[in-house]
Structure formats: structure tokens, C-alpha cells
Amino acid sequence: MSSKAISSSDPNALEKLNAKLEACEKRQAHMKEVNAYYRKFGTCKGCPGVPDEMAAKIDAKIESSSYSWDKQPFPSYELTNNNAEIRRIKQRIDELERHREVGFVGWKFAGGEAVVNNDINRLQLFFDERPDKERCSVLKRKGFHWSPREGAWQRQLNDNAIYAVNYVDFVKPLDGRRPTDLQPKAPQRDTGAR
């Protein structure tokens, strides 16, 4: 399983995350099957999906382990950690799908324009004139960075970027509303009864 990070700005991010999720779920199922087989038979030999050579190594490792509380091929922390990774990936997939469904919108402000650049996954602020030091420092505190290549102040496009500009007075929309009020609302998902 690859530990390489998957950027939200990657055009294939959803496909990569779905592939990573599938690999984690297969690993989880495999670990549970091997542990159940070991509990039932006291050995990994003959376990489906585990070669005999690997089974012998696992059995020897368990026998030589000084930890008496976790006598199984895959310790409980491995199952817990993998399960947490599955939940994290599912949350990222939901977030990316929601962002694609909703689609953020930009706005004009006094002295410039806020642009949603979906191609590079950035909220970009273009100013008619160069902002003074005080404004630059406010932008930096709100997570924006100057990009000479883009000629804009920008940060990763997500809900937090939109919330951050709510608190930057000099980029408020011309109509006086908050940037979050301009954004389309995500369709409500059925979360089921609690």
C-alpha cells in the first residue's frame, strides 16, 4: 500500500482515494480472517491467502513474543489503525465529492476580485494595486500566500478558505454580504436516524 499523499488538487484524487480505500478494506478483511483462523486452529498454517512459509514465520513470531495479551497474527492496534485510516479516507472522499457537487463561486470586492480556480484547487485574490504591508500580513495570517507564477494571493480551495475571507474586511463582496453567504449550499445528505 502506497503511503504517498494524495493532493486534493490532483484531478484524479477521487480515483486514487477510492483505490486506496479499497486496498485498506481488503487489508482489514485479510487481517480479521487470519486472526479468526489463528484463534480457531492455533496456527496460521492452512489459512487461505497465507503461504506456508509466511504462516511458519507468523507462528514463530507469536510464540517468541513476550507480550502475553496480544497473541494473534495481527495485533489489535494494527486493526484499529487501519480502521481509522479507512474512516479518514471515506471522509476525504465525501469532502471532495461535496466540493465537486456544490462548486464554490468567486466575487468582486473593492479593488479586486476573488476567483475560484478549480484547475489548481485554489481560492485566488487578485488586487488592482499591490496591497500594503498591513494587508499582506492579514492575508498571511488567514493562510494566503503570494504566488508570483499566478500573480495572486491564494490558498487551498476548501470551506476553511471561504470562512477565512469572512474575516478579511478588504475582500468583502461589493454587495456587503459575507463570502460564505454567496456560496451555493450543499445538498443535504440523508444521514439516517441516530
Give the span between the Cα atoms of 27 and 29, in whole angstroms: 5
Across residues 51-59, what is the average pLDDT?
91
Helix axes 13-41 and 76-102, enclosed angle (nearest 10): 160
Give the span between the Cα atoms of 123 and 117, in whole angstroms: 6
Cα 15–chain centre separation: 13
102 touches 183 (CB < 8 A): yes
127 touches 16 (CB < 8 A): no
The pTM (predicted TM-score) of the whole model is 0.65
Parallel, antiparallel, or unpaired: how do β-strands 122-127 and 112-117 relate?
antiparallel
Give the span between the Cα atoms of 50 and 31, in whole angstroms: 11
Name residue, grid cell 513476550.
66
pLDDT category at 172 given cuts 50, 70, 90 is very high
185 pLDDT above the threshold of 90: no
| Average of per-residue pLDDT values in the chain | 88
175 pLDDT above the threshold of 80: yes
Q: What is the pLDDT of residues 105-141, one digit of tens each?
A: 899 999 999 999 887 889 999 999 999 999 999 999 9
Across residues 8-18, what is the average pLDDT?
82
